[in-house]
Structure 1
C-alpha cells in the first residue's frame, strides 16, 4: 500500500489533487510522487489505554445514535463524517476523500477536468479563493484572489467541509452555478458562472523586447519542459542579445514538488533547492541542484503575489536564498506544508499533512510566506501630460554640438524603446509589476555591460 504526497489549496472542478494546475497543490516527494510503504508508517499510540478508552467512547456514541436517533441513520455516512471531522480538525489541508472523490482525483491528474477553474482553501468556515486559473470561467467572471465564497447557489458554505464545497462546485459542463462573494469589506454580491472543461496550459512565454517573459500558472508534469522550451526559443531568436528573464509566478497555486525542483534547477548550478522535514527524521528529504544554468547567469526577476503558493514559494525561496534572482511583487500565500494522499482500500483515501518544507537557508514559510526583495503592489500608472518648454536647440543662435549630423535623435530613440517593448506583451503597459521587473532587468544588464567594458 503506497501513498502520494501533495501540498496546496483545494481546487474546484474534476480536480481534487493539484497536479497540473488545478488545486490540491501536489508536492511529490520522490522522482514523481514520493511513494513508500504505508504499513511501515504505523506506530503504536503513546498511551494505548487512553486511545482504547476514546475508541470505546466513539463506539458507545455510534451505537446510541444508531438505536435512538429520530430517523434511522446510515452507518457508513456517520463513520465517514466522523473520519472527515477528525482529519479536518487537524489543519485546513487534511481531509477525507470517499471512494468517489478519490476516483475523481485519480482521473483528474490527466490535466483536464470539469469545473470553474479556481483554487480554494478553507478560511474560518468559508471558502477563500487562492487564485483563479488563467482563461477559465472563474477568471473571465472576475473572481479574484482573496475573495470569500459564502454561498453556493444560495446555500451557505458555513458548516460544509472543503471537500463538500468543492464537490458542489463541480457539475455538468455548461451548467451554471451562482457564487455569493465577499470582497474586502464590501457587501456580498452574486456571480453566475457556467462550468466548463478546464484545460491547463501551464507555461506561456514571449519576448518583451530584449527580455524573455515566462508565466507558469501551475507546476504540472510538463512545467519544466515548457520552461526549457521557452528559454531555448528565446536564445535561438536573440542569441547574446537576450538580457535576462522574467519568471511570472503570480497566482500560481503550486504543483508537483519535482517540478518545483526542476524549474529552480534551470537557473542554479549547485546547492540545495528545498528540504522537507517530517516528524520522524528518517522521513525528511533534501533536493539539490545539478550543474548548468540555462541562461548563463543573466538576470532573473521572479514575480510573486498573495496567490503564489506552495511550489511557487519553493522556486521563489530557492532562487532568492541563492541570490540567483530578485523576487519582486507582494508577499506570497505562505503554504509550507506537505500532504500525503494515503489510500484506504475500499474506502477512498485520506489527505494528511505529513511534513513542512524549508528553503535553502532553513526558512519555513508556513503561515509566513516569501517576502519579496522589492515590494511592488498592484498599481495603475497614468501618464501625466507635461507642458511644452523650449529646449536648448530651440534657442536662437544656439551652437551645435560639434558632432556630424546622423539624421536622427539617438537619445530620443533610446527613450521610446521601453514603451515599444511594452506594446509587444499581453497588456504589459498596464501591468505595473511586470513593467518594473523589465526595467530592473534592463538596468542590471546595462550596469553589468558597462562594468565589463570598464565604463564608469
Structure 2
C-alpha cells in the first residue's frame, strides 16, 4: 500500500476511533504496529476494508477522484448510518455551526429531521411561509437549492433553512401521492411559535389545551391552566405537531398527571443512566386525561405522551409519533471538523427507546389533514376524527 493511502487510512481511522471512543496512538495502530483485542480488532479489520476500497477507487474509477470529497462523503455516511441526529461537519461547516446566531433567526417555519436518507418535514409552524405553501408533515425535501438533502447532514440542513430576514430559499418537495417534486421558493421571516390554545367542551367539563411547544415558559402556562381548571375537570391535551421543546419539560408535563413511578430513563453506552421519577409535589390533577398525537409529535411531546400511556393514566389517541429522543455530544477533530454524536437515548418506563420505536397510541385514529382543527378556534370539526374520538372517550369517563 502506498504511503498516501497509509496516511489517508490513518486519518479516516482516527476520526472513526475518536467517534467510537476507542482511542489509539500512532505507534499502536495496525499497519503501524497495532496490538489490540476485542472490538478494536474488529474495527482494525474494517480499516483494511476501507483502505482497499479507497485504493480501488483511486486506481479503477472512471476518472481520477477527489479523495478529499470521497472521504468526506464516507464520513457523512458513517455518522448518518448510526441515526439521523449524528452528523459529521467539515471544518467549514463546523465553523458556521459554532458561529450561528441563537436568537432572531429568520426561517420558513419547518421542523425537519431525516428519514430514508432525505430531509423530512416533522411539522409546520402555523402561519409561517411553509404553512402558506401548504407544506405538511411527512413531505420530503428532496433538495435545497441545487443540493440533494441526501448529501447533507441534518445539522447542515437545519442551518440552510435559516438565514436573513427577506432572503429566499428554493426547495424541491416530494409530496405523498404526487410522482413529481414541487419546486417552491419561500421567503425567510422571523417566525413566532404558536400561542397556547384552550377551549371548553361538554358544558365546560372538558378543558382542551394545545401548548404549541414545550419550553419552560410554555409549560408554566400549561400548569397554570390545569391548576385553574380544578381537580375534577377532564383534560384533553393536544400534542399534535408539538415538535419543539426541552426533554425535561416533556417529563414535567407527564408529572402533572402522574404522581408516582418512573416517567422516563436516559441511558447510553458511556452515559450515566438517569431515571426520571414522578415528584408528588408537581402532580396537578387526577381527573381523566386524553392526549392527542400525530406524526408531528416529536421529542419532548413524545416523552409526555409515552409516560401517560405507560402509566395507564389516560388514552393516547391518534397516529404513531415521529420518533425522537436523544442527546448529542460535540466532538471536535484535530483538523477543525467535528462530530455531532448521539451518546444517549430516552426510554419509556417500559424500556422502549422512543427514537427507535416512537409512541404508538392506545387508540389509533388517522388524521384528516384537509380538515384539521383551527388553532385559533379549536372547535371539533367533522373531519377531525382524532379530536372527536378523544372527546367521546373523555365524555364516557367519570371525573
Task: Bin the TM-score by the shorter chain.
Answer: 0.7 to 0.9
Moved more, 289-298 or 319-328: 289-298
Among candidates 326, 341, 346, match of residue 352 of structure 1: 341
Give the Cα–Cα distance (whole angstroms) in 2 for the partners of residues 427 and 88 of structure 1.
39
Partner of 1:436: 389
1:194 aligns with 2:187: yes
Among candidates 243, 250, 256, match of residue 253 of structure 1: 243
1:298 aligns with 2:291: no
Give the Cα–Cα distance (whole angstroms) in 2 for the partners of residues 173 and 423 of structure 1.
27
Give the Cα–Cα distance (whole angstroms) in 2 for the partners of residues 119 and 435 of structure 1.
27
1:162 Cα deviation (Å)? 3.2
1:49 Cα deviation (Å)? 6.1
Q: Secondary structure at the match of 1:135?
A: coil
Is contact 1:428-1:435 (8 Å) kept?
A: no
Among candidates 168, 178, 183, match of residue 176 of structure 1: 168
Give the Cα–Cα distance (whole angstroms) in 1 for the partners of residues 375 and 284 of structure 2.
22
Partner of 2:273: 284
List per-residue Cα deviations over 1:147-204 (Å, max 9, x = no partner).
0112333554343433444343333221222322221121332232111123335x60
Partner of 1:228: 223
List per-residue Cα deviations over 1:241-293 (Å, max 9, x = no partner).
x621111111123532211221111222111000123224x722211010046
Question: Number of residue pairs matched?
Answer: 358
Is contact 1:248-1:303 (8 Å) kept?
A: yes
1:207 aligns with 2:233: no
Partner of 1:118: 110
Which protein has greater RCO, CA pairs closer than 8 Å, 6+ apart? Answer: 1
List per-residue Cα deviations over 1:50-90 (Å, max 9, x = no partner).
6567769979969x98xxxx999796x77765543432233
1:374 aligns with 2:367: no
Give the Cα–Cα distance (whole angstroms) in 1 for the partners of residues 161 and 135 of structure 2.
14
Distance 1:104 1:441, change over 3 A: farther
Partner of 2:298: 309
Q: Secondary structure at the match of 1:324?
A: coil
Give the Cα–Cα distance (whole angstroms) in 2 for the partners of residues 94 and 207 of structure 1.
40
Correspondence list, 1:27-106, <5 A: 46=38, 48=40, 83-98=75-90
Is there any run of 5+ residues in structure 1 with no aligned partner, and where? Answer: 1-37, 383-421, 449-456
Give the Cα–Cα distance (whole angstroms) in 2 for the partners of residues 89 and 231 of structure 1.
42
Q: Secondary structure at the match of 1:258?
A: helix
Is contact 1:275-1:359 (8 Å) kept?
A: yes
Is contact 1:147-1:183 (8 Å) kept?
A: yes
Is contact 1:304-1:331 (8 Å) kept?
A: yes
Distance 1:350 1:154, change over 3 A: closer
1:270 aligns with 2:270: no
List per-residue Cα deviations over 1:9-57 (Å, max 9, x = no partner).
xxxxxxxxxxxxxxxxxxxxxxxxxxxxx99x66667455665677699
Distance 1:179 1:275, change over 3 A: same
Q: Secondary structure at the match of 2:164?
A: coil
Which structure has the larger Rg? Answer: 1
Correspondence list, 1:116-195, <5 A: 116-153=108-145, 155-188=147-180, 189-195=182-188
Q: Secondary structure at the match of 2:226?
A: helix
Correspondence list, 1:402-441, <5 A: 426-430=377-381, 431-441=384-394
- TM-score normalised according to structure 1 size: 0.66
Moved more, 354-363 or 94-103: 94-103
Give the Cα–Cα distance (whole angstroms) in 2 for the partners of residues 218 and 250 of structure 1.
10
Q: Secondary structure at the match of 1:433?
A: helix
Is contact 1:339-1:354 (8 Å) kept?
A: yes
Q: Secondary structure at the match of 1:196?
A: coil
Q: Secondary structure at the match of 1:197?
A: coil
Give the Cα–Cα distance (whole angstroms) in 2 for the partners of residues 107 and 222 of structure 1.
26
List per-residue Cα deviations over 1:403-427 (Å, max 9, x = no partner).
xxxxxxxxxxxxxxxxxxx999614
CA RMSD, 1 decimal: 3.9
Give the Cα–Cα distance (whole angstroms) in 1 for the partners of residues 285 and 46 of structure 2.
60
